Structure 1
Amino acid sequence: MAIRITCINKANGNHENPYVAISHLGWEDYNSTKKGKNTRVEIYNFLEHEGGMAYVEDFKGNKTKVVTAISPRGTKYVKTEANGTESDNLLSLKECQF
């Protein structure tokens, strides 16, 4: 299954990097009308262990792949692949309202 990440929620406080501050990610399934919101670790597991794929899509329809990473402290998180843009595709998403 491939999903499009549509929004994020961030936890307050000090974090080792901005991606670790993401607590939840909202998404839409590319192949159906299914939508949802999951924790950062659930999305990490979906990508890393369940063979899922996720993307962030800009207003022109350009897709940037979401990949897994582990911080030096061992925290699992997701981020977008570098794609040559100045702004970060994932961190610039709006806050989830659901």
Structure 2
Amino acid sequence: MSERRKISCINKRERSSAYERIANVGGIHNGSRWKLTLDEAIRSIENGSRSYYTSVGGHERDVIVASRNGVKYLKTEADNDTPDNLLSLDECP
């Protein structure tokens, strides 16, 4: 069973591509702050050790691995009514 963590912050790179902007994701789990590189978070989803979600404005959305032009990235599942995407989250300390 995978550990489920809420992503509440990100660190962005200085890139124009929306698929390459996120460098780190993080949050607070069991009272402790955590932060992973994008590659670490992708690996943990793909190997089944963790799953992630966001919660913005009362809307909880799962975070999934997607790929565009061979580049893997994270995104929230499709949502038609609110902008619950990762790029809208606050910067991690």
TM-score band w.r.t. shorter chain: 0.7 to 0.9
- Counterparts of 1:41-80 in structure 2 under 5 Å? 41-60=39-58, 62-72=59-69, 74-80=70-76
Which amino acid is 1:52 matched to? Answer: R
Give every structure 1 segment of 4 or more consecutive aligned residues whose post-TM-superposition deviation is greater than 4 Å: none
Find the aligned partners of 1:28 and 1:46 in 2 and give their Cα distance. 17
Unaligned 5+ residue runs, structure 2? none
The aligned residue for residue 37 of structure 1 is: 35
Find the aligned partners of 2:73 and 2:68 in 1 and give their Cα distance. 8
CA displacement at 1:48 relative to structure 2:
1.1
Find the aligned partners of 2:35 and 2:14 in 1 and give their Cα distance. 18
Specify which structure has the higher proportion of strand. Answer: 2
Unaligned 5+ residue runs, structure 1? none
Across the two proteins, how many residue pairs are aligned to each other?
Answer: 91
CA displacement at 1:75 relative to structure 2:
1.4
Describe the SS at the equivalent of 2:7: strand
TM-score normalised according to structure 2 size: 0.84
CA displacement at 1:52 relative to structure 2:
1.4
The aligned residue for residue 95 of structure 1 is: 91
The aligned residue for residue 84 of structure 1 is: 80
Identical amino acids, percent of aligned pairs: 33
Find out whether 1:13 has 2:15 as its counterpart.
Answer: yes
C-alpha RMSD of matched pairs (Å): 1.6
Find out whether 1:28 has 2:24 as its counterpart.
Answer: no
CA displacement at 1:86 relative to structure 2:
4.4
